[in-house]
Each structure stands twice: as structure tokens, then as C-alpha cells.
Amino acid sequence: MKRRTFLSNIVLSQGALLSGAQIARSSDADTNDSPRSGKTVMEPAREIPVIEEPDVLVVGGGPAGVTAAIAAARAGADTLLVERYNHLGGLWTGGLVLPLLSTHAIDKDGKFKQVIFGIGDEMAKRLKALDMAISEVNPVVDPEAAKYIFDVMTKEAGVKTLYHCWVSNVLLNDGRIEAVVLESKSGRVAVAPKVVVDCTGDGDVLHLAGEEFENFHYHIGLVHRLGNIDRIDTSKPGYKELRIGDPTPIPSVNWVNMHGKDNQDGIDMYTLSELQRQYRIEIWEKVQKIRSTPGYESVFLLDTASQLGVRMSRILAGAYRLTLADSMTYKNFPDAIGISGAWTSLLYQGRRYTTRERPLWQIPYRSLVPRKTKNLLVAGRCFSFETKLVEDARIIGTCIITGQGAGAGAAVAAQSDSAVQDVDVKRLRTILKEQNVYFG
Amino acid sequence: MKIKAHFIRYASLFAAVILSLPLPLGILTGFYLWLSPYLFINSALASWRFAAFHGFGAAVLLLTILYHRWFCRFVCPTGALCDIASKWGSRKFTLRRVPSIHKHLFVTALCMAVLGIPLLNLLDPINVFTMFFDGFQSTPFAIVVLKLSGLILILLFSFIVPHCWCQRLCPLGGMQVLLTEIKKAIQDRLVSQKLTFNSGRRYFVASVIGLGIGAISRSLSAARLKNPLRPPGAAPESRFVMLCARCGNCVNVCPTDIIYTSLDMNDPIGALAPSIRFEESYCLPDCVRCGSVCPSGAITSFSLEEKKQLVIGIARIDLKDCLLTNNRECDRCKAFCEYGAIQIVTSEDDFSSYPEIVVDRCVGCGACQIVCPVGVISVVGITT
């Protein structure tokens, strides 16, 4: 088999790729790879053990990744999920961005209804059953409960999960990703999957695979939670109403969103580090101010999010770029993999659409498909859409829908040994329907 | 010759009706108003502002000096309707009972216009005609009644006393009669050295009335405290309410229906003048229509480039209930401001972010007001 022979030669290609990669990087628009000191070092080629050969490798365990892994496993694929932190759920849990937004929208008859079904709905229902999700529309969840549910659901589906590992390279051969290189406590290891799903949010895999993308600079924040909200003494002299965030399923805990600085590069390590430090200091000092206000003495900083709220970074230039117009006009795609909703107001063609006037919108399979790589699918906020659609494309509901579509699509591609570009869309949609995805 | 005159007249009436219907006519909306020399003179005197279309009014005026009342005979749609009404009308009253005040009305209007107040634009038969058709597209009921009543009254007059409007009352007709008399006087003076023009007391009274009303209206309009939102390119408020012919062209041509005919009991001077409200839509940055159809110069015609500087009002944000200020995920106002006039500022005091209006950049287009999910932004008029 060609794949096998390639894998035995992995050492050679790794060396060849390294030099190639350096040339590519020096011309790359990304600033984060350019050395600040001006110096470079040469990494020697080395042999890397291939630890797994799954049908589907899902990189990133955020809302998109968890859903993709569950969808792929349920579709019968041997699935491996790798995650850089110690939990699943990504920004939804570790990022403390607790609401599952865009669950609802209006249909063609103007009826406001739920559109996020399938695995996303299952997650919400299971969290509600635990009393760990509040509100029907755009439910707000408890992050620890969600982490637990995602572990349970991936376990039930038979997904193999590797925590604490980070994709560092991709080895390409003949337009295919032959191996994905991971950094871990066990050292540098390789996974050789049939199909890869990039759910990194930042599009790390699509970037390493040489796909075209746009690095969209957006605002980055850091969410935190406050405890003892139920112990605020409003009768205390000198008490005044302060802005202390929004309720979570746990009555004594509020979560506090942060808009943060505008126009930030979400894939620049220096930017991320500077913001991380600045925000943590700000939040601590802010909470101390709250604590020094009469009535708020027992309020405390429960936690700051374990990951920065990077709202946007890389966006794939895929086989199809989904547009705002598509989302506003009930555009029908023959290869739709699901439907997402809307969570905020916007202006379109001179008219205001309030949240409750926004149409549901289909997401085509092609917007998850890269232009070159034959065994890579992209889901989550880095899938292919125009930036005007960003508010609804980057949101958890949409991540879940694209995740389920990409996971099932990857399973179909792996099982039929076809390129992702040639996947039998009819079969894919049948599987997604069986998985309760809503198609309008 | 008579048949031909009738034919041209009814053709003109037909054209005027077509052009007054709510059709997507673009720049031709309310086209007949551009032909009115009366409106041209008024606006020229009142504002010293000229639009390209004022050329039509000027041309008609010149031709009027050469051919007496040709405009009434061939073009005026109101005249054609009056004729029809007169034909069916009663024979009980004759013209002799009606004093001939049209020339004096014109002189009054002229004097008011010199003071910058062409309010008698409302008596222009073409404007009355345009307003009638505009009335069908208006709301609420009071505005409909006001807009429709002009033409109905004129036709009623003509029905009761045949031809009384055209022959005795119409200031546009009066203007033409006066011009012909002056022309004749000059000719006589040149030929026979005789002064035949009767300057008379009546003109003096008419002038005094005009100047008087003009002065009073000026002081009234200056005293108004509130500045309503007017279309972009509108003259300063005190002049705008006076310049505006209330024809409804800008209301009808606005693609987003933000311009409406205002009728505020607290603001009688601005009655029926176009105002702006932001409900579903806002003032599109790529639209210049209202300026291009205004026949009076109340709204000057402007280019897309010029529009960036034309201020309707200024946005104000009530931060108390602002989502962003309350740590919610929202940046809608900033995202949809096409003038870069909203920035998100982080307060060093309590580390929360809030939107802030960049005063120099805000033109009051209303985009932020309508997109705000909690309705805490409103565009307010600028007090000068």
C-alpha cells in the first residue's frame, strides 16, 4: 500500500518538508512565524512513531470538534479526537462563553423556531436534564457540567480522546495529509488518519496543509466568573447596582463577558500573551473594586477562563465561501449539511432585521471543503465564509452544525476511500438526517 | 388652433398625472414642479441656491415674457382641470363678482421671498397638483386631507364661479399677467413716451402684507427651539421650513422610506415639511435621491462625496441599558456604522467597554439607531 510505504519513509519526508516549510514560511503573511531576534535554528530530521491510524482524526475538542468526533464515530468511523487542554468544549467551557447561541431563527413562513438539532440539541437536553442549562432559546450552560457531558458523550460514541496534545505539523503527500504530527508529554508523535477534520478554530491544520486562508483580526476578550452572587447584600448602606455579568445555571455564580481590544491578531503568540496578562490583571483589580463596594464583600473571582476569547482568526478559502446574502435569503444548497440560526440584529440591504426577524440559513458541505487537500475537512469558526457573516458563523451553534457535517462527511470519505471533494453528498445527508440534523 | 391647444393641454395633463403617480420615476419624480417659473423665482430670491433643474423654470419664465400665458394654455395641468370644472360648473356667478387679486398675491409672495420666505409656494397650481397626488401616498389622515384639499378647493372654486382660479386668483397666472403688463408698459414708454403701467395702491398694500408676513414668519421660525431631523442637504432649519414647497417629492423618492411628511401640532411652521424617522431603515450612504428631486432648493442636490459631510443629526447612546456596557456580546452599532463614527472604548475606571460616538464623523444616518438590539441609540437634531 502506498500509504504504508510512505509512512515507513516518514523520516525522510520530515526532513525534506522542513526545508520546504521554511521557504514557505518566510513568504508567509503570518507574522507569528517570523523570528523577532532575526536568528533561526535548524531542527534535525528525526523518526517519529505513528501512534494511531484512525479513520478520522479530529483536531481540536471545542464545540465543533466534540460534535465532529461524535458524528464520525456514530457514522461508524474509528475516530480519534485530540485536544490541547484538559477538557472538551473549547471556548464553550474552558473559554467560559457559556451560551449556545443561534439555536433559533425564523423559517420561510416567518415562524420563530429551533433550528439546531442533532448532537447540539442532545448536548443541550442532557445538560437541561442535569439542571445545568438555563433558557430554551440560546441556553446558557454550566461549563463543568458541559465538560462532563462531552466526556460522557464521546465515550459512549466510542471516540478515542487524547488530551494535552497539540498539532505541530502536517505531512503531505500527493495532495493528502499522510500524517499529523502532535506534540505531547510523550514527545513528538504522529497520527496517520484516513481523513482529518480541522476543528482548531484557528485553522491550524488547514494552514499547515498549505490551504489558503484569511487571517481575520477581531476583538479578543477574557471571560471570568464571579461567585457568591446570591450573597450580595442589597440592604447595606452605600449599596449600588454594579455590572456583575449574567446568570449561569448555578445561582451563586455569574459569568462576565469581555469585549476586549478590537482588531487583534488571534494567532500571534506575543499578542495572546500580552492580552492574557493585561486582562488577568484588569479582571483581578476590577473584582477587588466590586468587593470593596458595600454589599458586595462576599463576591469573589471564581475563575478566569483557561483560554483567551479569540473570536476569530484564520478563515478557510474553501470550495465555497458562504455569504451573508446566502444567510438572509433562504438560499437552498443541494449539499446542505445543516441549518443554523441567528442571535443578533443586523442591517441588510438598507433594512433592519432584529434577532427575531432573522432567517434560518443552510450551510453547504462545500464551505467545509478545502480547495486542495483531498482528506481534510474544516469545521468551527474557521470554515469558509465571508467576513460579513462573521457574527453568526463564529458562534457555538454554527460550530456544532459544521462540526456534525464535517464529522459525518469525514466518516463517509474514510469509509468510501474517496476524496472529501468527491463525497457522496446524498449518503452524507442521509446519515445526518439519521443523526437528527434539521434540514428545514 | 383651438383644437390643437386643447389637445396639447390634455396631453400635458395626462403626462402630469402619469408623472405624479407612485411609479419608480427616479429623477423625474415631481418633474412638473421644475417647470414652474413661480417656484423658480421664489427659490431664487429666498435662498440664492440653484439646481440644474431650475433651468426649466427660468426658460419657462423667459418664454412667458414673449408669449402671454402660454404656460396656462398649454402646460398647466391644474388649469386643464379647472377648465373642465368650469364647463360643468354653475352659471349663477360670473367672474365679475370675484376681485382680481392674482397679481397682488404674486407681489405679496415676491416680497416674502425677498425676506427668504417662499411660503406662498403652496399656492403654486403645479405644487397644488403634485401635492394632491402625493396625498394618496401619505399617512396619517390629517396629512392626506391637507394634501388633497388644495386641488379640491381650487376645483370647487372653478365649479362655483367658472374660471375664477385661473383668471382671478392664481398667483402663477398673476405673475404672467403682471409680466405682460410691465412688458407693455416698457414698450409703450419706448414707443409713445407714455406711462401706462398703473402702479397703484393695491401693489403697495400687497407688498406691505408680504413683507409683514415675511418678517413675522422669520421671527417665529427663528424662535423655535426644537430641531427636527431633516433630509441630508437640507437648508438650515429656519430657512428649510420656509423654502420647502411641501410637494412630497423627497418623501416619495426615498428608497428606505425614512423621509415622511411631518405634522406636529407643536410645530405649525414646519407642518407638512419632510422629516426623518428611523424605524426599519436608515439613510443609505449611496443614495442622493432626495436632493436630486427637490424643486425648491430646500434640499440642495448633492453628490455621494458631498453626502459624507451632510449631517442629519447626531447619534446619542444611553449607556445605562447598552448591552456592551453591561458586559454582553454586542458591537452592532460599531459594526454597521459606515462612517467609522462609533468606537469601542474601555473605561479604565471599571474595565468595562462601551461604545462612543466620534462627533466629527457622525452624520446621523440612523444605522446604529435601528440596528441596536435594545434601542438605546437615537439620532437627535443638532442645535446650531
Categorize the per-residue pLDDT at B351 as very low, low, confident or very high, splitting at 50, 70 and 90: low
Task: Lowest mean pLDDT of A211-220, B123-132, B362-371, name the range.
Answer: B123-132
Q: Which of B77, B234, B248 is nearest to B148 (CA)?
A: B248
How does DSSP classify residue A23? H
Partners of A285 on chain B (C-beta within 8 Å) are 351
CB contact under 8 A, B353 and A258: yes
Q: Please tell me the distance in Å from A391's CA to the nearest CA on chain B.
A: 10
pLDDT digits (tens, 9 = 90+) for A412-423: 999 999 999 999
Q: What is the mean pLDDT of residues A79-100?
A: 98
pLDDT value for A22 = 35
pLDDT value for B124 = 85
pLDDT digits (tens, 9 = 90+) for B318-333: 999 999 999 999 999 9
Percentage of residues in chain A with pLDDT exceeding 90? 90
Partners of B373 on chain A (C-beta within 8 Å) are 344-345, 354-355
Q: Is the pLDDT of residue A388 over 80?
A: yes
Give the residue from B284, B329, B348 with the most A CB atoms within 10 Å of its CB, the best one to mutate. B329
Compute the Cα dihedral for B42, B47, B48, B51 and give only its sign. negative
pLDDT value for A24 = 35
Distances (CA, A) of B327 to A149, A244, A350, B353, B355: 27, 8, 28, 8, 12
pLDDT value for B166 = 83
SS (H, E, C) chain B: CHHHHHHHHHHHHHHHHHHHCCCCCHHHCCHHHHCCHHHHHHHHHHHCCCCCCHHHHHHHHHHHHHCCCHHHHHHCHHHHHHHHHHHHCCCCCCHHHCCCCHHHHHHHHHHHHHCCCCHHHHHCHHHHHHHHHHHCCCCCHHHHHHHHHHHHHHHHHHHHCCCHHHHHHCHHHHHHHHHHHHHHHHHHHHHHCCCCCCCHHHHHHHHHHHHHHHHHHHHHHHHCCCCCCCCCCECCHHHHHHHCCCCCHHHHHCCCCCEEECCCCCCHHHCCCEEECCCCECCCCCCCHHHHHCCCCCECCCCHHHHCCCCCCEEEECHHHCCCCCCCCCCHHHHHCCCCCEEEEECCCCCCEEEEECCCCCCCCCHHHHHCCCCCEEEECCCC
Task: Name the closest residue on chain A to residue B352, using Cα atoms.
Answer: A258
CB contact under 8 A, B327 and A351: no
pLDDT value for A199 = 98
pLDDT value for B93 = 73
At residue A133, what are phi and psi to the nearest 5 degrees?
-145, 135
Q: What is the mean pLDDT of residues A222-248?
A: 95
H/E element, A398: helix A396-416
CB contact under 8 A, B371 and A347: yes
Q: Of B352, B367, B373, which is closest to A347 when you measure between CB atoms? A: B367
Percentage of residues in chain A with pLDDT exceeding 70? 92
Q: Please tell me the distance in Å from B229's CA to the nearest CA on chain A.
A: 19
pLDDT value for A437 = 97
Task: Lowest mean pLDDT of A95-99, B89-93, B228-232, name the range.
Answer: B89-93
pLDDT digits (tens, 9 = 90+) for B281-298: 999 999 999 988 888 888
Q: B26 or A302, which is more confident?
A: A302
Task: Name the closest residue on chain A to residue B369, using Cα atoms.
Answer: A352
Q: Please tell me the distance in Å from B163's CA to the nearest CA on chain A.
A: 48
Q: A323 or B16, which is more confident?
A: A323
Distances (CA, A) of A176 to A106, B40, B191: 40, 74, 102
Distances (CA, A) of A158 to A78, B3, B339: 8, 95, 53
Q: Which of A320, A317, A342 is nearest to A395 (CA)?
A: A342
pLDDT value for A342 = 94
CB contact under 8 A, A260 and B350: no
pLDDT digits (tens, 9 = 90+) for B153-207: 888 888 888 888 888 888 888 888 888 888 888 887 787 766 655 667 777 888 8
Q: What is the mean pLDDT of residues A248-276?
A: 95
Q: Is the pLDDT of residue B103 over 90?
A: no
C-alpha cell at A318: 474553501
Task: Lowest mean pLDDT of A24-28, A131-135, A314-318, B320-324, name the range.
Answer: A24-28
Q: Of A259, A286, A352, which is closest to B350 when you measure between CB atoms? A: A286
Distances (CA, A) of A149 to A79, A80, A93, A127, A257: 18, 18, 11, 7, 23
CB contact under 8 A, B282 and A350: yes
For chain B, what is the mean pLDDT?
83
Q: Is the pLDDT of residue B52 over 70?
A: no
Q: In A, what residues contact B, Cβ < 8 A?
A: 219, 242-243, 245-246, 256-262, 282-283, 285-286, 289, 344-347, 350-352, 354-355, 391
Give the residue from A347, A357, A388, A389 with the most B CB atoms within 10 Å of its CB, the best one to mutate. A347
Q: Is the pLDDT of residue B372 over 90?
A: yes
Q: Please tell me the distance in Å from A171's CA to the nearest CA on chain B.
A: 39
Burial of residue A195 (number of CB atoms within 10 Å: 0-12, 13-18, 19+): buried
CB contact under 8 A, B327 and A350: no
Percentage of residues in chain B with pLDDT exceeding 70? 92
C-alpha cell at B383: 442645535
For chain A, what is the mean pLDDT?
92
Q: What is the mean pLDDT of residues A124-138?
A: 95
Supply the pTM of this predicted model.
Answer: 0.84
Q: Is the pLDDT of residue B224 over 90?
A: no
C-alpha cell at B67: 408669449
Task: Lowest mean pLDDT of A425-439, B136-150, B187-201, name the range.
Answer: B187-201
Q: Of A246, A262, A346, which is closest to B371 when you measure between CB atoms? A: A346
| DSSP reduced 3-state for A108 | coil
pLDDT value for B2 = 55
| DSSP reduced 3-state for A255 | strand
pLDDT digits (tens, 9 = 90+) for A145-191: 999 999 999 999 999 999 999 999 999 999 999 999 999 999 999 99
Q: What is the mean pLDDT of residues B332-338?
A: 95
Cis geometry, peptide bond prior to residue A294 (ω within 30 degrees of 0): no
Q: Of A219, A289, A350, which is closest to B284 when you measure between CB atoms? A: A350
Strands (E), A235-365: 246-247, 254-256, 261-264, 300-304, 309-310, 314-316, 336-340, 346-348, 351-353, 361-364
Q: Is the pLDDT of residue A257 over 80?
A: yes
Provide DSSP, A130-196.
Answer: TT-EE-SSS-EE-HHHHHHHHHHHHHHHT-EEE-SEEEEEEEEETTEEEEEEEEETTEEEEE--SEE
Q: Report the range out of A30-44, A78-92, B156-170 with the highest average pLDDT.
A: A78-92
Partners of A245 on chain B (C-beta within 8 Å) are 327
Q: Is the pLDDT of residue A29 over 50?
A: no
CA A202 to CA A208: how far, in whole Å?
A: 11
pLDDT value for B223 = 59
pLDDT value for B114 = 79
Q: What is the mean pLDDT of residues A308-337?
A: 97
Which residue's C-alpha cell is 507569528?
Answer: A32
Q: B273 or A213, which is more confident?
A: A213
User: B348 has which bridge partners?
Assistant: none
Q: Is the pLDDT of residue B146 over 90?
A: no
C-alpha cell at A54: 484512525
ipTM value, please give it: 0.88
Strands (E), A354-401: 361-364, 376-378
Q: In B, what residues contact A, Cβ < 8 A?
A: 255-256, 280-282, 284, 324-332, 335-336, 344, 346, 350-353, 367, 370-373
A-B interface: how many C-beta pairs under 8 angstroms?
A: 64
Q: Is the pLDDT of residue B221 over 70?
A: no
**Taking a C-beta distance cutoff of 8 angstroms, is the pair A181, A150 a contact?**
no
pLDDT value for A5 = 47
pLDDT value for B142 = 82
User: A104 has which bridge partners?
Assistant: A114
Q: A23 or B321, which is more confident?
A: B321
Q: Of A262, A285, A350, which is closest to B256 when you measure between CB atoms? A: A350
CA A431 to CA A405: how far, in whole Å?
A: 9
Task: Lowest mean pLDDT of A148-157, B135-144, B230-239, name the range.
Answer: B135-144
Q: Is the pLDDT of residue A267 over 80?
A: yes
Q: Of A245, A351, A355, which is closest to B327 when you measure between CB atoms? A: A245
pLDDT value for A246 = 95
Q: Of B256, B336, B351, which is closest to A286 when you measure between CB atoms? A: B351
Q: Of A289, A345, A355, which is closest to B350 when you measure between CB atoms? A: A289
| DSSP reduced 3-state for A284 | helix
Q: What is the mean pLDDT of residues B118-130?
A: 81
